[in-house]
Structure formats: structure tokens, C-alpha cells
Structure 1
């Protein structure tokens, strides 16, 4: 395929634009930064996402690499979503003591991150407070109890039990600790954070 406008009657060619756009938005990448990485123009990438131009194989390979998607995904058609099956949640590592965490959203999804946390009795993030490079954190306690502490002059401890939900500024320093019965917590972070799978650890 050449990097030129599609001629009349080219509708039979694979339409890859929707797949590329969906992948780019999921990764919170702009047209500008993907185009710069691939060494094409923003306008050309925009046209490619609208399927008004076709691209060379070499260009598609570069775009897929930039978006971290397999070439084969281009020809499967745009997906309505991505399933993470029960029992197949990838374990991830954000630190803490007595904490096991599992990613519920796809690894390439950067707009939102959903994490299932299993926290042992008395376990948690540790004594030192931390903040996250995100906008919002949401916590929903599925079982047990959890204390989220905010240090400082205006700090406070928020006590959460089963069924309680709490939304707060992710950039504010905080820490969390499970109660005597432990805790099972559904966390949502917007936008998604970089993370390390257990298999990535040295």
C-alpha cells in the first residue's frame, strides 16, 4: 500500500483507522506525539485514522510499535471492548506490606485503572505517606475494613467498612491500613499509573 489517498473502489481494503484511533485514545496518546515518534505528520495520521489514506507496511509497523499493539490487531476490526477473565487477573506490584494486587483493566488502558487489592490484617501501604501522579483515586471496600490516613495539620483518618466508597485527590499524601479482619478493596485510579507485574521484578 502506498501513502496516498485511496482511489475509488478501494473500499475492499482493510480499514484500520478505527483500530489505531481506539488504541491511541486508550493509551492517552495525542496525534502529535504518535506522529512525531513515527516520523509522519499529524495531518497524515489523522487521515489514516479516518481511513481516507492508506499507509505503507513499514509505516503501520512503526505505528503499531508506538501504540504497543500487534500488527494482527489491525485486521481484526475495532473491538467494542476488552475482557479480562475471572481467574486471569495479572498480579501487579505497587509496594506495601501484606498486599496482593491484581489489575482488572487491560494493560494498555491508560485512561482508567481498576485494581483489586487483597490486604492482610494490619497490612497496608506502609508508615510513609505517598501521593500518586493521577487526578482521582476511588476506593470501594468489598470486605473487611480499611483506614486511609491523610497526614498534616488538616489531615484526618477515614474509616471504611464493607460497602463504603471513598473518592479523593490522588495527589494528596496518604497511606492505608487494613483492619484486624483484613480488607478486600476495589481501587480506581484516573488516569492510569505505570505499574510493574510480578514477572517484571528482578
Structure 2
């Protein structure tokens, strides 16, 4: 008897709530405006409006920034695997995705008191284009398989296996896969993907 792969189990969850509706509900619960969230997350009100209406799906890093500004962890919006052990093995890592996104994430970093880094292997499907963002912290990309196009401060870089790019997160950046093959990228950064107890934001406002 054939069993479903972890990847198939991750992507075949049609009843999972859309991430946009959860973001909007949480924002309204806190009585925050789109601009309140965008100032903390480093995105535009227009883009966040598209996300809330499920017309756009944020990357995991951007979702983490949004979650941080809403005083919750990213697991408030997605079901993500735990990382109790420091060791992960190729082919055995649990996978997950942001609802509505085709990018599959493999978590390779552990979670422990005082850690500063988050790290994932991104499996980026053909034709996928990320949003353009800027945020606190820094990022390091290392291409494992395929060809990735990275935009940084308006300049485009073609990255192939073995290529890397390290930059401050406050520089506008985006990436995309314009090939016919899945791209695998090791992403490491100080974006607070799984930080607990984030600071509360803003006053009590309505949109």
C-alpha cells in the first residue's frame, strides 16, 4: 500500500482557514488600522489589503512580521512543525506552508531560549514571485538547486546552486522563480518567525 508523502499531506488541506481572514479578524480584534500593521511589518497598506482579501499570499517572513505586529506568533495563522531537536536529517524534516501559498518550507533551525536565527529550506515552484518587503534584521540566501532571481534595492541578481547573498532586511527585496523547475533555497535570517511575547503595537483605532 502506498502512503502519502509529507509534502502531499501538507498541501492537501482544503478546509484550512485562509490566512487573510485570520489576519483581518485579529487586526480588528485589536482595533488596529491597516497602516498600524504595515508600519511594523514593512509592507504597504495596499498589499496588506490584498492579503486580507486573499488576493495575495505573504511569504513566511512577511507573515512573521505581520504576526509580530499583531502580538501573536506565526503559528497563530498556520500549523507548523515543532523543532525540539537541534539535528534534522535530509528527507526526514517535516514540511509546512502558508495557507494559499505553493512554497513548501522545511524547518532546519531549532527553537531555544535566546536564539536569534530562523532557518528554512524553501521549495519554490515554477512561476512563483514573492512580495517586495523591507524589515528589521538581516537575511542570508544560499541556493541549493535551480535558478533564483533576487531583487535587492532595485538591482536583479541571478543566483544558481552554490551562490549566496547576505543583506540587511531594511533594503527592499523580493525573489522569484521564472524557470520550469522547483528552486530549493536555504534561507537564514533574524526575522522573528517564532519569537514569543512580541511587543504590543499602537493605540486603539478602527479602520
Who wins on radius of gyration, i.e. which is larger?
1
TM-score, structure 2 length as denominator?
0.45
TM-score, structure 1 length as denominator?
0.46
Bigger relative contact order, structure 1 or 2 (CA pairs below 8 A, ≥6 apart): 2
